[in-house]
Structure 1
Amino acid sequence: MTAPDQDRQGLVDELVGVAVPGYAILVVQLNNVVATQLGVTDTDVQCLHALDRYGPMTPGALAKRVNLTTGSATRMIDRLVAAGCVRRMPDPDDRRKVVVEPTQEGLDRVRDAYAGLVERTRDDLGDFTDEELRAVLRFVRTAEHSTAAEIHRLQSGTGNQ
């Protein structure tokens, strides 16, 4: 292996073996702190993020989105309703069903909880060139896709290949 190849391999190893796992652990810890402050669970915070990103959805769709059984999702929705973060509304396409939608209060509380990190991240990215920002964004989107694929692979029973 040539020196440039070794340098590249070292960078990749540090990124996937140290930096990304370390960042992921801190994000999990931050989500736990936010959930505690909101009086809900970590998964409940994921639910609010999903509703904010994808809009109102049925309890079944929400359960799939945050990797819960429908029974667990019902309990999660009950907690979030009690916390004032979501509400159940009639499904506009089928009035026999309900959709879960975030309340403005719930979205505001989550956004407020993450506002410090958002501001710090904007500051951190301030010195990046446009090219570097595009590379970071490309990496995050690719990693998001790969992570979703790995979740699917592990859940489908083909986990140890």
Structure 2
Amino acid sequence: MGPGAHRRSTVAVKEALRELRNQLSLLNHQVGAHLALKDVDLDCLELIARHGPLSPSALARRAGLHPATVTGILDRLQKGGWIVRERDPEAADRRSVTVRAVRGRNAELFRLYSGMNAALDELCAGYSEDELALIAGFLSRATSAGHTATGELAKG
């Protein structure tokens, strides 16, 4: 493959990633609308479910959001029964709070994402284990590149 063909393939991959990002954003928006949550609320709920329990400041760092913004998000998530705030018994400051996801609510999210999950299962069935490992590795490295780029932008 010559340099022109490689460049065209690279452009095609980047365009496909942008289209995927847009489609996933639309899907998340629809899921959020069904649950009366904002997109950013869903993003934070995902971070809490994956990495929690978290302090609100740790969540703010992970999400790249101002702590005051996170407070409003946590208020909405708690009001909806998605998270609980708990005193952190191991913290030096007795007022310290951690946030954790309410496990019983996951079924609602799984149901709303079930169409996409089923479609991905069907799609992955057409690839070999080696191909899936390559795809997973690429997506992981692309995520890491996005994390780095986000961090650089956040620095100003």
Task: Give the TM-score taking structure 2 as reference length.
Answer: 0.93
Q: Which of 16, 32, 46 is 1:49 aligned to?
A: 46
Q: 1:100 and 2:71 equivalent?
A: no
The 4+ residue runs of structure 1 with deviation greater than 4 A are: none
Q: 1:75 and 2:72 equivalent?
A: yes
Q: Which of 19, 44, 48 is 1:22 aligned to?
A: 19
1:32-87 per-residue CA deviation (whole Å, 9 max, x = no partner) reads: 11111111110110111111211210111111112211111111001001111101
- 1:6-155 superposed matches below 5 A: 6-16=4-14, 18-94=15-91, 95-155=94-154
User: How far does residue 131 in structure 1 lie from its aligned partner after superposition?
Assistant: 1.3
1:77-135 per-residue CA deviation (whole Å, 9 max, x = no partner) reads: 01001111101011131242111100023333222221221111011110101111011
Letter in 1 for 2:147: A
CA contact (8 A) 1:86 1:106 kept: no
Number of aligned residue pairs: 154
Q: In structure 2, how many angstroms separate the alpha carbons of the residues matched to 1:35 and 1:91?
A: 29
Secondary structure of 2:150's aligned partner: helix
User: How far does residue 6 in structure 1 lie from its aligned partner after superposition?
Assistant: 2.7
Q: Structure 1: any 5+ residue segments left out of the alignment? A: none
Q: In structure 1, how many angstroms separate the alpha carbons of the residues matched to 2:45 and 2:149?
A: 23
Q: In structure 2, how many angstroms separate the alpha carbons of the residues matched to 1:62 and 1:147?
A: 18
Task: Report the RMSD for the aligned CA atoms in angstroms.
Answer: 1.3
Q: Structure 2: any 5+ residue segments left out of the alignment? A: none
Secondary structure of 2:96's aligned partner: strand
Q: Percent identity, please.
A: 25
CA contact (8 A) 2:64 2:154 kept: no
Larger mean Cα displacement after TM superposition, 146-155 or 99-108: 99-108
Secondary structure of 1:116's aligned partner: helix
